[in-house]
Homo-oligomer: A and B are copies of this chain.
């Protein structure tokens, strides 16, 4: 086993026993101080980030990734604001969800408690470092972060500022630890730390998430991949459908709740597809479609079987003509990633059936899939969007970082034979 990880795990466990019992007031003050220290250290953080950016460019990092990596004054302000916002949220820890008296007099309550030690593996965006810390700390968890090698200098500087704030708030600074060795071996070792880590949350591309799911012995919350569909039913308000499609596809193409695939009812294809084709063309969206789609959309190209399962994260959209809501639901349940799916319809029964039968974290009637997001759902903040069914599904707010324990008050009860 990796000695450094063992030491970090032991430190996290020690910190966790203190964090678990901190009052909300102490946690919130420490968070406000963390926001303040982050701003105080802005110069150091930007200097470290500049080196990361320079090295990234030297290594041929694409400009889109350089942009995600780069910090500036407004991004550091945003990180500090994010921490302050988490401080203002309600603390879910300690709530007793139910308490009942059993016939034998035992009083059994179920209480919300921290998960313990959270591990997080993520890629280039340094703002995840402060976000993850704030959410885990607010919920009384210790967190061990493993960021991308491209952002290591930025992350070290950010973590230094945050840990100083913890020290000066008299709370264990090991509430937040960063793995500075970004080698592949250490990452793999980290996934095997089931003795120390209660849950591992990967955030990043499909490759990273697959690798964590396949290698981890720690329970994982799978996040992110979204092959999201919009089905335009025969009774759809077609203006609304076009508005929603353009929003879901083009408002931000690189995000997991963007639309990747359209299903169009055959009864509206003649009226709808030429209009839609023009709008998509104006927005530089490439359409990959079946024969019927190609016949009505002059710039479209034929779709291959593999297109139906693809999360493009780009100005590309697959499109299929279907003959019924049944065909639409069956296609979605076959190819989707369990993220977000929408139907555009004025038909009550089809709306209800779509909500019932489509298997996904979020199912919409007459709205854009882009709303699947912790802030849009009213959670105040999110640690990621779960596409698995265990523990948490959909946008994960603070409660996803908690578990429960049963507390039982007795007066001498023993179990009869």
Residues of A participating in the B interface, judged by any CB pair closer than 8 Å: 17, 20-21, 100, 102, 106, 108, 115-116, 194, 198-199, 213-214, 217, 219-221, 237, 240, 243-244, 246-248, 251, 333, 355-357, 359-368, 370-372, 376-378, 388-391, 393-394, 403-415, 417
Contacts and interface: CB of A to CB of B under 8 A. Distances in A.
A150 to B, nearest CB: 28
Contact of A408 (B115, B371, B415): B371
A409 B365 contact: yes
27 contacts: A20-B359, A102-B377, A106-B367, A108-B377, A198-B389, A198-B390, A199-B389, A199-B390, A243-B412, A244-B412, A246-B414, A359-B405, A360-B405, A362-B406, A362-B408, A363-B405, A363-B408, A365-B409, A366-B411, A367-B409, A367-B413, A368-B415, A370-B415, A377-B406, A390-B390, A393-B405, A394-B405
B389 A406 contact: no
Nearest to A192: B214
Contacts of A408: 362-365, 367, 371
A136 to B, nearest CB: 14
- When all copies of this chain in the complex are counted, the total is 2
A376 B116 CA distance: 27
A240 B389 contact: no
Contacts of A377: 102, 108, 406
Given A198-B388, A363-B408, 4 more contacts: A198-B390, A244-B413, A363-B406, A390-B403
